[in-house]
Structure 1
Amino acid sequence: MIKRPFVTLYILMSIDGQITGPFGKAPAAKESGKVFNEFNFDDKDGENFHFQGWLYGSKTSLSYFTHEISSLPENDVPVPSGDFLPDQNASRYYIALDRTGKLGWESNLTAYNGHSANVLEVITEQVSNKYKAFLRKKNIPYIICGATEIDLELMLSKLYSKLNMTHVMLGGGGILNWSFVSAGLCDEVNFVIAPAIDGTTDSTPVFNGAFSKNHQPIGFKLKSIEVYEKNTILVKYLVDKKNI
């Protein structure tokens, strides 16, 4: 059993389990967005969970936080081997899983709803020398986890041992969410359910096993249900890991 942070999947979704799409623009979903943001980020509220990092896949990062890097100058001087952790005292990290090295950060800081976080890249051994040099120039820390695919267990182990993280938030997308849950690496799921749907067919479901060979059904144990004003529900489940 590896030592790792507690992982909570926390996400806003429609009644039919979509996490992207126009449902969020419905008047009925306005209150749901407020609940999601307040419960997530209001550190003054003792009822909230307090995490040291957000975990996001590269697609989500490209959609909301940065852009794909276009080109990089060749770097003839090899960067030092291993992880790059120039500052290990940040209060919160945006943890970007970027196995091929394509996220073009403008800064080593990003923000969500006014809350800032230091960018932390999770890359693989296949990432080029010039991309690692780019990250170092931006003073963006990175950890290397896996050869060509990100080793999630190794990543969590490093977050715990090297950055002292005890609780991280998993936020998508659906492929990453399924990868964590199906591997037994997600401990709790919290769904803020907006009272809205949009009927689109190209939205992202909260779980997507399209690239996974593991489609074993997974059960959950109800922890609590909270009903907020204007029909928003917060449902908390513990992941039942007996069959994982």
Structure 2
Amino acid sequence: MYNPQVGMYHPGNVGGQEHEAVYVDPSSSSSYPGSDDCYEMEEEVGKRFYPMVPVPHVPKINGEIPSLDEATMDHERLSDRLRLYELTENKVKGDGNCQFRALSDQLYQTPDHHEFVREQIISQLKSNREAYDGYVPMAYDKYLEKVSRNGEWGDHVTLQAAADKYGVKIFVMTSFKDTCYIEIQPKVQKSNKVVLLSFWAEVHYNSIFPQNDAPRLHHTAKKRRWWPFSQHHH
């Protein structure tokens, strides 16, 4: 198991370039994006996240659901942060699959491939058991069975597995009072693509984008932007 302080969650800024690409069905895709298949996210992400100071985290399962008052305050805090850093949410369905829908929206430009994304993450958890079992406070096989089910919530362990599987950094803008955002580092970075998510009150994830990229959220742009995935598997 590698050190979570240096190999998994830790503060910092990201780098990378992006390029125009065409859509590829995830059923015939690989588990990670090509290194040249990204937009200019370094500047966009850097401008928004550089002033913030994240607190290092380790993967963990979900915490307690907050009270209604706490959830309301958390929602206001998250909304304020998104406005401050000029980020826009593409809201996904809250059906228990929201983490996987949000990841799918970032990786494939649609939340509809959430089942495939969950399958990829579960594959990562199964094939690299030693990297994650220390963060799961229950029998690991029971945990795998649980998170494999459609509608079962994702957690910080599945986020780490997603970062590792796709080889990308994941930034999570949170509603936590003491943590503005979390950066999740892949064990091995395979792409300069950056995945951007919002996380509200321990209960819901959404996909987020810089405001100047917002038109594509509503599919009004003349030229859609897609991130392709090659046929390579590992």
Q: TM-score, structure 2 length as denominator?
A: 0.25
Q: Select the structure of larger CA radius of gyration.
A: 1
More strand by share: 1
- Structure number with greater CO (CA < 8 Å, separation at least 6) is 2
Q: TM-score, structure 1 length as denominator?
A: 0.24
